Every structure is written in structure tokens, then in C-alpha cells.
Amino acid sequence: MSLKTSNDAEFSGDIRKSELTLVDFTAVWCPPCKRLLPLLEELGQELGERVTILKVDVDASPNIAARFGVMSMPTVILLKDGEPVERLVGLRPKETYRSLVAKHSAMASR
């Protein structure tokens, strides 16, 4: 599964209400965001249907960013059943994001 770009109008329909959604809050002018993008694309291909990965440009979609209290980029928020369960601010290694998804996938199967 590849990254899907979402915006204020589409966001509610894009998140998976009963599954996991990883949301990357980004900006085109943010250097760490540019380095994170290929990591998340790889992760999306590795994890397939286990998680939906969305990219939200905070400048183009300020309402979504405000709703989740995003103040710094990149901010990655993991949603479970449409609600935030984890937040990572700043660039992290790909394994960190993979572990986050694995942790909540395991919790869902209990």
C-alpha cells in the first residue's frame, strides 16, 4: 500500500475506523519531512493492508493539523478506530514506526 495524500475535506473518509491509520503531518518546506517520506513509503509496502498511511500537508490542510494539535513537523500520529493512540514528533528510524504499528496490531488481535 502506498501513501495517500489526504486533506481537510477527505480526511474523515480516508481514516480506517476499525483499523490502524498512520498519519504523517508534513510540509513541503520541511527537510526532515522529505527524509521521512521514503521511509513511510517502504513501510507501507512492507505492511500492506495492516495499516493505512496518510500524508497531510499542514499548510494545505490547517484544520486537520489544528484538530490534532500539530505544532512541529514531521509529526506522525497513529489512529486506532479513528482515535489517536500514539504520537511521534520529529524524524525517527523506520523501525520505530514499524514497531508502533506492530504493537497496536497485536493489541487489536487480542
Q: State pLDDT tens for residues 36-76.
A: 999 999 999 998 888 899 999 999 999 999 999 999 999 99
What digits encode the pLDDT tens for the residues 72-101? 999 999 999 889 999 999 999 999 999 999
Active site residues: 30, 33
Cα–Cα distance, 48 to 52 (Å, whole number):
8
**Which of the pair, 94 or 110, is modelled with greater confidence?**
94
Question: In the chain, where do the E strands start and end?
Answer: 4-6, 20-26, 51-57, 75-80, 83-89
Question: Taking Cα atoms as reference points, which of 69, 77, 55, 59 lies closest to residue 5?
Answer: 55
C-alpha grid cell, residue 79:
489512529
DSSP conformation class of 109: T
In order of their start, the domains of the chain are: 4-108 (3.40.30.10)
**Which of the pair, 42 or 110, is modelled with greater confidence?**
42
Question: Taking Cα atoms as reference points, which of 99, 100, 98 lies closest to residue 87?
Answer: 100
C-alpha grid cell, residue 76:
506522525
